[in-house]
Chain A
Amino acid sequence: METVAFNVEELRNDFPILSKKFNGKTLAYLDNAATSQKPRQVIKAICDFYEGYNANIHRGVYEIEEKATMKYERTREATSRFIGAESAEQIIFTRNTTESINLVAKTWGASNIRKGDKIVVSLLEHHSNVVPWQVLAKEKGALLEYINLKEDSTIDLDDFKEKIAGAKLLAITQASNVLGTLVPVKQMTSIAHQEGCTVLVDGAQSAPHMPVSMTDIGCDFFAFSSHKMLGPTGVGVLYGKREILDAMPPYNLGGDMISEVHKWDVTWNELPWKFEAGTSNIADVIAYYHAIEYLQRLGMERVREHEKSLTKYALKRLSEIKGLRYYGPDDIEMRGGIISFTLGDVHPHDIASILSREAIAIRSGYHCAQPLHEELSLGGTARASFYIYNTEEEVDRLAEALNEVRKVFAK
């Protein structure tokens, strides 16, 4: 695919919301870890589908049905290429990362995890990659262990090596949605595999922001969401190794996921449809193609470079603010474009509310990672997170507004 120049001012024009005014000010959207904004190519694709060829897929043989099926499957192929998977049959569409992880817990987990087995996660995990394992472990009488962090907020690999011994499953994020920490999942997967341990990587915060390759990482499962990478909400991806997916029991039962149904008997459909029961989110999957195409034309290397330089600039600007403390690695090579911080004893909600009046959108609270906040003894944090369309000027606005917050709450 041909690439285009990475020109932030120009690409901002593709995002209608970025030129809207809120409280008379242009939106500075710095909550990309929660969800990204959508370019008009994606928005238009949803309209085009409903206006031009809305039909159910994998069923009829009339023209618009075939077009819908073709476009839906085209997204699967693009997704497969985007994450460097072996084949498109290994890409399963779900609703989001959370559902992708739950699918694994409910099918692979239910049939492979037994009493006394060990499941290893890290302290960095989002609740989506903790709760399904916590519940499964309780149901099965298995053990759940957390890999510790080092002083510099990176994974403690010595602790990992100790805990992975004899483990059955490693479920780990590739990028923390709080600290921004990047996790060496390739290295960890290879160590885990030596122990005969299955590996699930939560790619919700990595796939949108950096090149990822399944054949390179070598993990058994990989989960991420369309909505955090310019695509629509309601589309998640689960990648799995073929032999594992083949051996797994289906998730939901009903239409589409079967090949033959008799009165008392049924045979499952082949991959990937075995895991896509019922009518899919057709419009949004079709539109998701345009998000992938958009990112590929920019080039994921350059997406990462842009975020790296913006994060570096932001860390410098934020560290100039009195009373501000940010968390996560100082080494820019070890972190993504996410910065969580506290400002003196001002509550994160108060920070976010005041910034909102300046049309600056940041997140506050636990960011669905309460175990991590407890570990760091943090009541909550404010979080700014970047994407392709963010600028140094927006970072300047953030820094100025934070100085204002400090004044409002000065005692």
Chain B
Amino acid sequence: MSDEIYKEIILDHYKNPHNFHKLKDPDFKAEDTNPLCGDHVEFSVKLQDGRVSEVGFIGRGCAISQAAASILTDLVQGKTIEELQKMEKEDLLEAMGNPDLGPVRIKCAMLSFKTLKLGLYSYLSSKSSHT
């Protein structure tokens, strides 16, 4: 069966997710659910010298949402905050092997992207209001 959605890389990450754990004392956390299908992801991130030093996620849901979260944790590892801010949806899709997701399934992939970005922004705004 030819399945441009379920590329090897997506199935690999779904079956054996990377960084699948919750960090202790993270610098920021972010979680969200896609109410339509019940996909859920939760990220925890540690920073050191302005870079991502450690990142973990937990979650449940479809293969696309969970593989995207796993791939995203690899993608952001070691990145600076500025690089994180500049990261685009396309960067994640490319890392996923540009699967042919339709307008509905793309939301599954973008759940983690959106969640991590929102987590980052609320971390940055809480920091700037403290200083």
**Are B1 and A358 within 8 A (Cβ)?**
yes
- The stretch of A246-254, A293-301, A346-354 in contact with B is A346-354
Nearest-neighbor residue (CB-CB) of B62 within chain A? A347
- The stretch of A134-142, A153-161, A332-340, A403-411 in contact with B is A403-411
Q: In whole angstroms, what is the CA distance A364 to B63 when docked? A: 14
Total interface residues in chain B, CB < 8 Å: 18
Which residues from chain A contact B105 at a C-beta distance below 8 Å?
A: 349, 353
Q: How many A-B residue pairs have CB under 8 A?
A: 47
Q: In whole angstroms, what is the CA distance A409 to B108 when docked? A: 18
Q: How far is the CB of A186 from chain B (nearest CB, A)?
A: 36
Nearest 6 Cβ contacts at the A-B interface: A347-B62, A349-B62, A350-B63, A350-B62, A379-B38, A411-B15
Further 16 A-B residue pairs, CB within 8 A, beyond A347-B62, A353-B5? A347-B63, A348-B37, A349-B37, A349-B105, A350-B62, A350-B64, A353-B6, A354-B3, A357-B3, A365-B36, A365-B37, A380-B37, A380-B38, A404-B1, A408-B6, A408-B11
Does B61 belong to the interface (CB within 8 Å)?
A: yes
Which residues from chain B contact A365 at a C-beta distance below 8 Å?
A: 36-37
Given A347-B62, A379-B60, A354 contacting B6 (CB threshold 8 A): yes
A residues in contact (CB < 8 Å) with B: 346-350, 353-354, 357-358, 364-366, 379-380, 404, 408-409, 411
Nearest-neighbor residue (CB-CB) of A349 within chain B? B62
B residues in contact (CB < 8 Å) with A: 1-3, 5-6, 11, 14-15, 36-38, 60-64, 105, 108
Which residues from chain B contact A357 at a C-beta distance below 8 Å?
A: 1-3
Nearest-neighbor residue (CB-CB) of A378 within chain B? B38
Which residues from chain A contact B108 at a C-beta distance below 8 Å?
A: 349
Chain A CB count within 10 A is highest, among B11, B15, B37, for B37
Q: In whole angstroms, what is the CA distance A365 to B1 when docked? A: 23
Q: In whole angstroms, what is the CA distance A251 to B84 when docked? A: 53
Q: How far is the CB of A405 from chain B (nearest CB, A)?
A: 9
Q: How far is the CB of A154 from chain B (nearest CB, A)?
A: 26
27 pairs, CB–CB < 8 Å, chain A vs chain B: A346-B63, A347-B37, A347-B62, A347-B63, A349-B64, A349-B105, A349-B108, A350-B64, A353-B3, A353-B6, A353-B64, A353-B105, A354-B1, A354-B5, A357-B1, A357-B2, A357-B3, A358-B1, A365-B36, A365-B37, A366-B38, A379-B60, A380-B38, A404-B1, A408-B1, A408-B11, A411-B15
Which residues from chain B contact A347 at a C-beta distance below 8 Å?
A: 37, 61-63
Which residues from chain B contact A350 at a C-beta distance below 8 Å?
A: 6, 62-64
Q: In whole angstroms, what is the CA distance A348 to B64 when docked? A: 12
Q: In whole angstroms, what is the CA distance A347 to B1 when docked? A: 18
Which residues from chain A contact B2 at a C-beta distance below 8 Å?
A: 357
Q: In whole angstroms, what is the CA distance A358 to B5 when docked? A: 13
Q: How far is the CB of B68 from chain A (nearest CB, A)?
A: 13
Q: How far is the CB of A356 from chain B (nearest CB, A)?
A: 9
Given A349-B37, A365-B36, A408 contacting B3 (CB threshold 8 A): yes
Nearest-neighbor residue (CB-CB) of B11 within chain A? A408
Which residues from chain A contact B64 at a C-beta distance below 8 Å?
A: 349-350, 353
Q: In whole angstroms, what is the CA distance A223 to B36 when docked? A: 26
Q: In whole angstroms, what is the CA distance A353 to B104 when docked? A: 10
Chain B CB count within 10 A is highest, among A353, A357, A358, A379, for A353
Nearest-neighbor residue (CB-CB) of A408 within chain B? B6
Which residues from chain A contact B6 at a C-beta distance below 8 Å?
A: 350, 353-354, 408
